[in-house]
């Protein structure tokens, strides 16, 4: 592999590697979340087919946590990509994507928090907020 001609080319190459790594981690988080969620849901599957007990919200909390982490990695990848190509269009695109992902993450975090409080109340019905 030849040495890059300039520091800018080196930075571009490094940014590409970092972006790829962050996007890969994001995909792995989603896959890990699916696997972890499936493992938690497995005991409930026979009951769901026959109208049995409702799965715990812990399953949703698990998947939501993994998705939240994936969103963080994706946002990091977008920031790295825009840092190396800061055109006006790229900055606007990053801003829009960052706002959308931030709101998704915020609402996901709120839902996870609400589910955790509900789970805690179910475990201890006399608990007060």
pLDDT, residue 52, reads 57
Q: Following DSSP, what letter does each residue of the chain receive, concatenated?
A: -PPPSSHHHHHHHHHHHHHHHHHHHHHHHHHHHHHHHHHHHGGGHHHHHTT-PPPPTHHHHHHHHHHHHHHHHHHHHHHHHHHHS--HHHHHHHHHHHHHHHHHHHHHHHHHHHHHHHHHHHH-TT---
Euclidean distance between CA atoms 76 and 32, whole angstroms? 19
At 29 the pLDDT is: 96
- pLDDT for 19: 93
pLDDT above 80 for 123: no
pLDDT reported for residue 2 = 63
Any idea which residue has 């896959």 for tokens? Answer: 31
User: Is the pLDDT higher at 102 or at 34?
Assistant: 34
pTM exceeding 0.75: no
Predicted confidence (pLDDT) per residue in 57-91, tens digit: 778 788 888 988 898 898 888 888 888 777 788 78
Work out the pLDDT band at 4, boundaries 50, 70, 90.
low
Of 78, 64, 58, nearest to 30 by C-alpha is 64
pLDDT at position 89:
82
Q: Quick check: 126 pLDDT over 70?
A: no
CA distances from 60 to 34, 45, 129 (A): 11, 15, 22
Contact 84, 12 (CB under 8 A): yes
């Amino acid at each position: 592999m030849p040495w890059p001609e300039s520091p800018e080319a080196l930075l571009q190459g490094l940014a590409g590697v970092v972006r790829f790594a962050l996007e890969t981690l994001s995909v792995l988080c989603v896959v890990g979340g699916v696997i972890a969620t499936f493992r938690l849901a497995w005991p409930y599957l026979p009951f769901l087919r026959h109208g049995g007990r409702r799965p715990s919200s812990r399953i949703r909390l698990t998947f939501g946590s993994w998705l939240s982490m994936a969103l963080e990695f994706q946002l990091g990848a977008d920031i790295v990509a825009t840092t190396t190509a800061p055109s006006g269009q790229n900055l606007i695109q990053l801003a829009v994507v960052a706002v959308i992902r931030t709101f998704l993450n915020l609402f996901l975090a709120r839902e996870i928090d609400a589910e955790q409080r509900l789970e805690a109340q179910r475990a201890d019905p006399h608990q007060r907020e």
